[in-house]
Amino acid sequence: MSTDENPIEAEAPAEPAAMTFADLGLGDAVLKALRDVGYETPSAIQAATIPTLLQGRDVVGLAQTGTGKTAAFALPILDRLDVSQKTPQALVLAPTRELALQVCEAFEKYASHVKGVHVLPVYGGQGYGVQLSALRRGVHIVVGTPGRIMDHLDKGTLDLSQLTYLVLDEADEMLKMGFAEDVETILAETPDTKQVALFSATMPAAIRRMSQQYLHDPEEITVKTKTTTSATITQRYLIVSFQQKMDALTRILEVENFDGMIVFGRTKSVTEEIAEKLRARGYSAAAINGDVAQPVREKTVNQLKSGKLDILVATDVAARGLDVERISHVVNFDIPTDTESYVHRIGRTGRAGRSGDAISFVTPRERGLVRAIERATRQDLTEMRLPSVDEVNVTRLSRFDDRITAALAETERIDGFRDIVAHYVRNHDVPEVDVAAALAVVAQGESPLLLEPEPERPVREHRDRDDRDRGRDDRGTRPERRPREGMATYRIAVGKRHRVEPRQIVGALANEGGLRRDDFGAIQIRPDFSLVELPADLPRGTMERLSDTRISGRLIELRPDTGGPGRRRESDRGPREERPARDARRPRHSRGDG
């Protein structure tokens, strides 16, 4: 392929405020869909990229997540799609299943007035049957993760011979997750005549080399985004384990004086679970995400504005463009992995000079994200501690006092009940204060007014200093590391000699099994195998999918670990030697995402 060592650099306009989407050259069907979703003014990356792609040129876009780059490549593709062609015309490669699903949702939203368009997400963790059926019926746009796309190419079930458009979304993340070989293999198996758009937050040497090798005379578009947060927003974070997050959120709601609140979750299922649990605790809460229909979303937002709803639980996509004046607090139940999303989220509060509070839940393994946010925004986040039982009880008593004071102000109703209480006191010879306490019990119901004091932590027995310093038990042997509560140790059949790294293991298992980062505990990489801490209650279906996952071209054969962490049993060797042909089938590279 011909390459351009010095691609043209075009600085995207900083503020294309005077420009509309109609000015970019898009057709009526796409413009109508944009009006439906309320898009009026293109972002910087959209204003610079859409006309270039419509002209047929390749593009290298340097832009962070949250800048609107999905629409920047989706709109030109939809505008020029030939719906009469049944083989895939566009392929979008994304590093994770979550991003692939987001991109699919965006395509479907923008294609609402383009008749007959079929978009297919292809990722690990989803059954092959659904994907194969859709491919047989005919698909115009495929959005997938590299590993599963490679699987379909290996099986001959994905035909890219008629591909016209190829997009590499978050290319630097794909390389970080170990998908470089997969991406290059896919690129090499597509037509030379295709148009390529590569989007990346950074431009490492590997991305630069890839763009020079696989793109024709690309135009390089750089968008410098603002990563500053409002000075009126107080930013705090709480170190908390994944299992403690719901309890932490409940305590914060008890002690924080908030008006309206948005709680951000990473996935649709998380938002629905949080909203359900908050309602069970007596809070007025509702979830919005990509599955919520637009009329329901509008009704929910209006309830938040009017005060009928106090807590909105949302995903990033669902909260875009949300501006509700009474939002005093934003809680990142799952802290975002990129700075742009963080800035976008907390910007829902502290608007127009008003004060606001942003609280982020951070698991111990996510401390680095806090530092990254501080560096990018040049603002410090203050570490907070979990509100204590005493603090919660003080708040509850204060609110109980307020309810009594408010009731005493209703003199007419008080007079009516005063005679009733006096009658009870005379006939039962009970002090008035006891009657008042009994009425409080009736009003409170089954829920206790005050929390029980937290149990004291048991004091560990003192051990001999030499043994303690060496980390050994009374028998002189090093104690076996125990997984944290709710976790179990699993063994996978790849280790140091297969040149695997923890990030490859996390990427592979997360994408194939639908796991979150918080689902991972310690990872120990041994010479011939590795030990990974995962949730103890993994469903059978997840176990089966993970067992068939490949890392560095090898089946990992995930199974619960039943031996000591440092021993390699004979039973571990046998199965590997009995199936050399299975491992040799696809020796190329990692199948990190299925």
- Rounded distance between C-alpha atoms, residue 521 and residue 242, angstroms: 11
Tokens of 528: 């011939």
The 10s digit of each residue's pLDDT in 370-407 is 988 888 788 889 999 888 877 777 777 777 777 788 87
The separation between the first and the last C-alpha atoms of the chain, rounded to the nearest angstrom, is: 30
> What's the token pair of residue 247?
């309890």
The answer to whether the CB of 318 falls within 8 A of the CB of 289 is yes
Q: For residue 297, what are its two tokens?
A: 């979303």
H helix or E strand, kind and range, residue 530:
strand 530-535
Dist. CA 82–CA 281, nearest whole Å: 52
Q: What angle do CA 549, 209, 121 make, to 5 degrees?
A: 40
The whole-angstrom separation of Cα 561 and Cα 255 is 43
Please report which confidence band the pLDDT of residue 243 belongs to, taking 50, 70 and 90 as the band edges: confident
Q: Calculate ∠ Cα 428-434-435, nearest 5°.
A: 65
Query: What average pLDDT score do residues 456-462 get?
Result: 41
Are 452 and 389 in contact by the 8 Å Cβ rule? The answer is yes
**Degrees to nearest 5, angle at CA 518 with 516 and 523:** 100
Strand partners, 143: 92, 121
Say if residue 571's pLDDT is above 70.
Answer: no
Q: Are strands 195-200 and 165-168 parallel, antiparallel or unpaired?
A: parallel
pLDDT at residue 449 in the model: 65
Instruction: Provide the pLDDT for residue 201.
Output: 82
Q: What pairing do the DSSP bridges indicate for beta strands 356-362 and 285-288?
A: unpaired
**Mean model confidence pLDDT for the chain:** 80
For residues 555-582, average pLDDT: 54
Q: Which residues of 110-148 are buried (b: 16+ CB within 10 A; e: fewer)?
A: bbebbeebbbbbbbbbbeeeebeebbeeebbbbbbbbbb
Averaged over 82-107, what is the pLDDT?
90
Please give the residue that has the higher pLDDT: either 579 or 358.
358
HSE-up of residue 195 (Cα within 13 Å, Cβ side): 18
3-state secondary structure of 153: helix
Q: What's the token pair of residue 561?
A: 């670990």
Return the higher-pLDDT residue of 540 and 67.
540
Q: Are 159 and 87 in contact (CB under 8 A)?
A: yes
> What residue type is 459 in one-letter code?
V
Angstrom distance (rounded) from CA 574 to CA 578: 6
Question: Does 535 or 552 have the greater pLDDT score?
Answer: 535
* pLDDT for position 429: 85
Half-sphere exposure of 16 (CA within 13 A, CB side): 20
If you average pLDDT over residues 268-275, what whole number do you get?
Answer: 91
pLDDT category of residue 450 using cuts at 50, 70 and 90? low
154, burial (CB in 10 Å: exposed 0-12, middle 13-18, buried 19+) = middle
> Which of 308, 366, 306 is CA-nearest to residue 332?
366
Long-range contacts of 567-570, Cβ-Cβ distance < 8 Å, separation of 24 or more: 568/526, 568/528, 568/529
The answer to whether 552 touches 179, Cβ cutoff 8 Å, is no
Q: How far apart are CA 422 and CA 444, in angstroms?
A: 22
Which is nearest to 495 in space by CA: 575, 593, 566, 582? 566
**What's the mean pLDDT in 559-587?**
47
Q: pLDDT by residue (tens digit) across 142-181?
A: 999 999 999 999 999 999 999 999 999 989 888 888 888 8
Backbone angles phi, psi at 445, to 5 degrees: 75, -155
Of residues 42 and 482, more confidence is placed in: 42
Q: Which of 412-426, 474-488, 537-551, 573-587 has the lowest mean pLDDT?
A: 573-587
Q: What is the pLDDT of residue 574?
A: 38
What is the tens place of the pLDDT at every residue in 316-346? 777 766 778 889 999 999 998 777 778 888 8
Residue type (1 letter), 515: L
CA distance 514 to 172: 21
Neighbour-count burial of 594, counting CB atoms closer than 10 A to its CB (0-12 exposed, 13-18 middle, 19+ buried): buried
In this structure, are residues 238 and 359 in contact, taking their beta carbons and an 8 Å threshold? yes
Query: What angle, 0 to 180 degrees and rounded to 10, lies between the N-to-C axes of helices 502-513 and 540-547?
Result: 130
The pTM assigned to this predicted structure is 0.47
Grade residue 226 by pLDDT with cuts at 50, 70 and 90. low
What residues have CB less than 8 Å from 488, skipping those under 6 apart? Answer: 533, 534, 535, 536, 560, 561
- The more confidently predicted of residues 353 and 247 is 247
Q: Please report how the helices 97-110 and 69-79 are oriented relative to each other, as an axis angle in degrees rounded to 10.
A: 50
